[in-house]
Amino acid sequence: MTEGDAGTGDSASPRGSDIARAALAAARQAAQSGPGARKKRVVPRGTAGGTSRARRRWSGPGADERDPQPFGRLASRIAVDRGWQRNLSGGQVFSRWATLVGADVAEHAKPVAIKDGELTVQADSTAWATQLRLLQRQLLVKIAAGVGRDVVRRLKVLGPAAPSWRYGPRHVPGRGPRDTYG
């Protein structure tokens, strides 16, 4: 290729930009000559009647994505965009616990943690822990109906928390301070 050939293209094979320009011109022609087409005044860019890219376009009387949005809609859109949907659904289990499982169960058990689809629930007595283990399937169905499927797939029921006698990094092995309780 010589210096004289660098600026000229082969007229037999058009470039991609030439094909795009031709397609755009054909689309504009079809839009102007189609049924119900309005005649549009063509004004070159940069002149007084033309539109520039910096000029603000108003949304008009109809709804538009640039209009003010309710906060809840914006928050849910951000949650979906960033992948927070599963964490928020897990948080609903905690906030709506009494309505999901019923007032009677909520009075004697509370959710502690949710991790990888496993909800850990702590009962206030061993009898209620046994009862929750028996009601496990029904509770999972109620939770899935309230917050969605696959948020909670398993239920881990813990009994009441016993006091720990191990304080500090060093402790004496044994049965604990049994002699102080008479």
For 114, the token pair is: 């949710």
Q: Coil, helix or strand for 104? A: helix
The three-class DSSP label of residue 119 is: strand
Q: Is the entire prediction scored with pTM above 0.85?
A: no
Neighbours of 101 (CB within 10 A): 21
Tens of pLDDT, residue by residue, the chain (182 residues): 444 444 455 556 778 888 888 888 888 888 777 665 555 555 555 555 555 556 666 666 777 777 788 888 888 888 889 988 777 778 888 989 999 999 999 999 999 999 988 999 999 999 999 999 999 999 999 999 988 888 899 999 999 887 766 677 776 666 666 655 54
Say how far apart CA 98 and CA 112 lie, in whole Å: 14
Q: Which of 111, 52, 115, 110 is nearest to 87 (CA)?
A: 115
Distance CA 143, CA 150 (A): 10
Residue carrying the six token digits 């029904």: 138
